[in-house]
């Protein structure tokens, strides 16, 4: 970082101070933030860390994208609990030669994401480290926290959001593919959305909820396991979705199988719900059944077991 510490902290204060959330008694500038506890809601609390070379590379994404993505990734855990974001802290680890303008871009991305979700960053920590890490902890509120363990056999699998685009976009970015028809999927990876509204809707009507960050098969697999049921995706429904979103065409351009990226690719931050009633803004992707494991029901009717799909870099919740 080129500026001294003091100047840096002042700039960050300036950026984040304008939009302190309701109930925040003290924001950036002391040893900790101070909040007025809300007596009527349950608090939902999450932390997510994005690490250079594991979650992002400087040459593939701008710092503003990295700030945005890291904030949305953390907020997606609140969406997955059916909660509404309240406020956030951010811990940044930065190399000594990190440029001021890059820090400005990074925090601008965090700030923009926070504003879009109606929340704010009320404090944090800044430290030196050889690799950039962006850690976000968020508090949210909800009357009804949505667990992953409450799915029942007979529920259907409902998805909010477009599936497989981010993984396709990351593939294109990593290989340096330039084609304007790929811009949409690149954008899906660079600027994901935490689906707070859909999560709040699911909290009213659905039974169980998760977000998909490590791959549909894997994350819904966790849900099935926690609920002691079997998840069966419907190939026909997935292919129809790929057709609606244009994923099939884009994937074909770069020789990817749309079904594979939908089942295995993460970081779209879609929500997956178990519900016995249709959910507004969600599309149906399969069913939960008696048994265990995760399977794909082929167009012909046969079920294929799904193993080891998903980008497992052992990133997971404790």
Q: If we measure between CA atoms, which residue out of 110, 91, 94 comes closest to residue 58?
A: 94
| Shortest Cβ 266–a second copy spacing (Å) | 13
Cβ–Cβ < 8 Å for 167, 247: no
Between 79 and 188, whose beta carbon lies closer to a second copy? 79
Distance, CA of 291 to CA of 218 (rounded, Å): 16
Please list, in sequence order, all residues whose beta carbon lies within 8 angstroms of the beta carbon of residue 314, skipping any fewer than 6 positions away. none
Residue 75 CA to residue 205 CA, distance in Å, equals 21
Stretch that binds a second copy, among 38-46, 64-72, 252-260, 262-270 (CB under 8 A): 38-46
Q: CA nearest 272: which of 120, 76, 107?
A: 76
With left for phi above 0 and alpha for psi between -120 and 50, is residue 47 left, alpha or beta?
Answer: beta
Confirm or reject binding of residue 9 to a second copy (CB under 8 A): yes
The single residue among 20, 105, 177, 226 that binds a second copy, judged by CB under 8 A, is 226
User: What whole-number distance in Å separates Cα of residue 164 and Cα of residue 247?
Assistant: 7
Contact between 299 and a second copy (CB under 8 A)?
no
Shortest Å, Cβ 11 to a second copy: 10
53 binds a second copy (CB under 8 A): yes
Which one of 78, 151, 247, 289 is in contact with a second copy (CB under 8 A)? 78
Give yes or no for residue 128 binding a second copy (CB under 8 A): yes
What gap in Å lies between CA 154 and CA 288, rounded to an integer? 6
129-158 positions binding a second copy, by CB under 8 A: 129-131, 133, 135, 137, 139-141, 145, 147-149
Please give the residues from 86 up to 125 whose contact with a second copy meets the rule CB under 8 A: 89-91, 93, 96, 121-125
End-to-end Cα, the chain, rounded Å: 32
**Which one of 18, 22, 37, 308 is in contact with a second copy (CB under 8 A)?**
37
Q: Does 230 bind a second copy (CB under 8 A)?
A: no
Residue 237 sits in the site that holds a second copy (CB under 8 A):
no
Which of these segments, 8-16, 173-181, 235-243, 259-267, binds a second copy (CB under 8 A)?
8-16
Q: Nearest CA to 203 among 160, 153, 238?
A: 160
């Amino acid at each position: 970082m080129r500026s001294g510490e003091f100047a840096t902290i002042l700039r960050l204060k300036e950026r984040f101070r304008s939009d302190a959330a309701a109930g925040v008694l003290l924001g950036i500038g002391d040893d900790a933030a101070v909040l007025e506890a809300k007596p009527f809601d349950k608090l939902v609390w999450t932390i997510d860390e994005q690490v250079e070379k594991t979650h992002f590379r400087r040459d593939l994404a701008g710092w503003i994208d990295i700030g945005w993505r890291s904030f949305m990734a953390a907020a997606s855990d609140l969406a997955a609990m059916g909660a509404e974001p309240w406020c956030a802290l951010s811990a940044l680890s930065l190399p000594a030669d990190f440029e001021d303008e890059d820090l400005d871009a990074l925090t601008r991305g965090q700030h923009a994401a926070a504003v879009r979700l109606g929340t704010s960053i009320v404090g944090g920590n800044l430290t030196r480290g050889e690799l950039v890490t962006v850690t976000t902890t968020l508090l949210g509120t909800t009357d009804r926290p949505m667990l992953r363990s409450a799915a029942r056999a007979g529920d259907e699998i409902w998805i909010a959001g477009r599936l497989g685009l981010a993984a396709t976009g990351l593939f294109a970015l990593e290989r340096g593919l330039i084609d304007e028809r790929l811009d949409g999927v690149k954008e899906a990876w660079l600027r994901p959305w935490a689906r707070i509204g859909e999560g709040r809707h699911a909290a009213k009507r659905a039974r169980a909820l998760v977000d998909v960050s490590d791959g549909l098969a894997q994350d819904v697999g966790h849900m099935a396991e926690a609920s002691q049921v079997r998840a069966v995706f419907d190939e026909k429904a997935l292919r129809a979705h790929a057709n609606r979103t244009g994923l099939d065409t884009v994937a074909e351009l770069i020789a990817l199988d749309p079904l594979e990226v939908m089942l295995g690719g993460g970081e779209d931050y879609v929500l997956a719900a178990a519900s016995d009633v249709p959910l507004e803004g969600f599309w149906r992707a399969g069913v939960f059944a008696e048994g265990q494991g995760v399977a794909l029901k082929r167009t012909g009717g046969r079920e294929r077991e799904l193993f080891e799909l998903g980008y497992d870099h052992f990133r997971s919740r404790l």
